[in-house]
Amino acid sequence: MKLSLTAILLLLMSSCKQNNSDWIDRSKHEGLYNIGYSELFETYATQEEPKNIKKTVENLEQAKLYYDKVFSEDLAFAVLFVDNENWNDYAFSPPPGMPQAYYEGNIVLGLGKSAIAMRAEQGLKEMPKDNLEALKVHLGNNIDLDLFYRDALSLHELAHLYQFYRTGRNFQRRWFNELFGNLCQIGASKNLPTQEVFNQMDAYQMFLIKADRWGEINYTTLMEFEEHYFDIMKQGRNYGWYQTQFYEKAKALYANFGDDFIDSFRDFLIETKPEEIGNLSDGELQKLIRQKFGPEASEMLKWKYNTEVAHK
Ligand SMILES: [Zn+2]
């Protein structure tokens, strides 16, 4: 058999840029309807013909094209739309509607009016009316926070899949993963055909930061974030506080360094896999960050809450 040079090159290229759907954990799809809402990825739901998710799917299609380009991938994945009643059967953490990514190819998003959005919308009722005006511009007069939790944050969860596909389930730091998710959600939303999703995401994050009504926050340092991650996640408010910090940093980094930074950030996550270089101390990690991203970016990556007792 004689293979031409072009054929060999094509073979090599396709093995680099593979669409490997084998990595998707299909045990997570049991009992769900295969709704086939997209040609670009798999879609499943707890309802046979779910309403109001066409836009979410379209945004994810655009985001996939963006991530495929930035990361030189053609990633296969599945999106699971799960309603409140069935949430605990398919997601790994409450509350219903808090979007999440599994290590093996699946993201889980809320369906219908999610519990997490409902709870947050209820909280808005205690706010002075004037503070809500900026939110209404982007999230509608009734302020629909599923546009934030499901639509905007789906871009963040999808980014985790592009990470896990190359890193597996081990990593150096959770905060680093989360900063990556935030960077990607900003990059992807800014590259959608309209700025609608970015504006919705940004309006709500900026509102939370400005309102500064976190109440009792138990954890503020990065070390605590690593050690008490699931506890923090369950107390949604403390998790939200960390995420707004990551978001602000990510926004500044993206504004300065753009799409290339997102790609190098993922490379860094791959290069620093514990299987490759062992578990790094904080000092070793800081040194590698400086080497990879330079002094300006590593300065921007610094965390300002460093004393464990200095609670907000
Ligand atoms: Zn995340």
Domain carrying residue 52 = 19-300
Which pTM does this prediction carry?
0.92
Residue 242 belongs to a domain: yes
- HSE, side-chain direction, 13 A CA sphere, residue 309: 0
Q: How many angstroms separate the alpha carbon of residue 238 from the centre of ligand 1?
A: 14
Mean pLDDT, to the nearest integer, of 223-235? Answer: 90
Whether omega before 99 lies within 30 degrees of 0, making that bond cis, reads no
pLDDT of residue 1: 46
Q: How many angstroms separate the alpha carbon of residue 255 from the centre of ligand 1?
A: 20
Q: How many angstroms separate the alpha carbon of residue 107 from the centre of ligand 1?
A: 11
Contact 135, 204 (CB under 8 A): yes
pLDDT in tens, 140-174: 999 999 999 999 999 999 999 999 999 999 999 99
pLDDT of residue 5: 58
Q: How many angstroms separate the alpha carbon of residue 6 from the centre of ligand 1?
A: 41
Residue 93 sits in a domain of what CATH number?
A: 1.10.390
Nearby residues of 53 by Cβ (< 8 Å), 6 or more positions away: 37, 45, 81, 111, 150
Q: How many angstroms separate the alpha carbon of residue 182 from the centre of ligand 1?
A: 7
Residue 305 belongs to a domain: no
Q: How many angstroms separate the alpha carbon of residue 12 from the centre of ligand 1?
A: 33
pLDDT of residue 247: 97
pLDDT in tens, 255-291: 999 999 999 999 999 999 999 999 999 999 999 999 9
Q: How many angstroms separate the alpha carbon of residue 40 from the centre of ligand 1?
A: 22
Residue 241 belongs to a domain: yes
Residue 186 belongs to a domain: yes
Residue 307 belongs to a domain: no
Contact 183, 261 (CB under 8 A): yes
Confidence grade of residue 10 (pLDDT, cut at 50, 70, 90): low
pLDDT in tens, 15-38: 455 568 999 999 999 999 999 999
Q: Tokens 């009504």 — which residue?
A: 213
Confidence grade of residue 117 (pLDDT, cut at 50, 70, 90): very high
Residue 6 belongs to a domain: no
Confidence grade of residue 86 (pLDDT, cut at 50, 70, 90): very high
pLDDT of residue 278: 96
Mean pLDDT, to the nearest integer, of 210-218? Answer: 87
Residue 7 belongs to a domain: no
Q: How many angstroms separate the alpha carbon of residue 159 from the centre of ligand 1?
A: 8
Residue 10 belongs to a domain: no
Q: In total, how many domains does the chain have?
A: 1
